[in-house]
Amino acid sequence: MGPSASLPSPRVVGRRLADAGRGALWRRRRGSLGATMVFFFVPKATAAAEEDVGYRADSQPQGTTLLHRNFVSRAAAKALPAVVNITVEVSEATLFGVRRGVSAGSGFIVRDDGLVVTNAHVIRNGQSITVTLNDGRRFLGCKLVAMDRSSDVALVQIDTTRGSSPTTKGRPRLPTVSIGSSSRLVPGDFVVALGSPLNLANSVTCGIVSATARHGSEIGMAQRTDFLQVDCAINVGNSGGPLVDLDGQVVGINTMKAQMADGISFAIPIDSAWQVVRHLLKHGQVTRPVVGFKMVAVVDADGIWGTPGETKVVIAQTMPGSPADKAGVKANDVVLDFDGRPVTNVPDILARIHLDPFQRIPVTILRPNPDDPFSKPTKLHLTITTEPGGGSTMSSSSSLRPTE
């Protein structure tokens, strides 16, 4: 074993760092047992160093988020003032009488007069709703504006005249969140979950998006919607709180976690939740579209309908008398485009069906014909009707647990 290399003195290290202005200066010393110890000295980058690596913040395109040591705290700080804790007094009839208790969850303010978005399962059939703000102010006797159990979205109005702390004359203007877009998320994006797990207010957890379109049927849900799957720690009390991106914009509503598993949690995408919010404010309830066909995604390995290896959406079944049946859609039809957009998977179709009543949507299909292998695409028009909303959020076979 050769002689050990000597480390420079702190004074020499400081001089070298000052001269370098960037990077990491390190030396290693091999101990008597052969173990290697590595020492890192990382100075704060100077303006010259930033120019060398091309990471000056003011040179980045608008909307670009740079990762730094406090990128999570900065994202959380933008939304936290508008995150609230919700407690609801609930009662349940049992064989031994009425059992009373308290349900707790989270929410976020979307309008400065105190309109709060949360999960419907947080509110349930509560008799008394109390909202506590990030700064500790409590508002009693808050009102349930509307609720849609099928999408698990509810709206609560804070009565700012019944706060527990003194306010200025007139109604105070409350902090609000900024609404983002869940459609821009891709697996691997950083996200931050905010809320009050186990009644621990102002909690922040961080993770990544694991999947952007986890359909309810894949996780035992009765909901006909997609969920964001994330690995943030989401626990009891997080329900209704915002899931935000690194710009601090809300991209989802924290809803539930998988039982007997870690790092598998789900949020309602804000794009679909916001449609529900708008309908609840306008109509007090949500009506849902009726299309009338079942569809599956298949891989066209042999290139029967186009390029080999592409995924195609095939109609598996149409319901008699439904809008799809009346438009001429039949089983085994291949959907090429829907509402003017190319279709490569089932979510492409679901994303184009909105909650607005009586939509007229152009659909291009390719109908396989054994007698004519070169059959041409056919354009049809679907006039989608609606059905009343309502219904339960959770199926009895689900292995998921709401986090109210």
399 labelled catalytic? no
283 labelled catalytic? no
DSSP H/E element including 27: strand 25-30
CA distance 109 to 115: 6
Strand partners, 369: none
DSSP H/E element including 49: helix 47-53
Strand partners, 18: none
What is the length of the chain?
A: 404
Closest by CA position to 87, among listed 131, 43, 34, 28: 131
> Considering 151, 203, 239, 265, which one is annotated as catalytic?
239
> Considering 103, 106, 121, 271, which one is annotated as catalytic?
121
Q: CA-based Rg of the chain, rounded to a whole angstrom?
A: 27
CA distance 170 to 161: 8
DSSP string across 283-316: HSS-EEEE--EEEEEEEETT-SSSSTTEEEEEEE
> Considering 148, 152, 271, 333, which one is annotated as catalytic?
152
> Alpha-carbon torsion 347, 348, 350, 354, what sign?
positive
CB 315 within 8 A of CB 332: yes
Amino acid at 358: F
121 labelled catalytic? yes
CA distance 136 to 206: 23
Closest by CA position to 275, among listed 253, 255, 249: 253
Active site members: 121, 152, 239
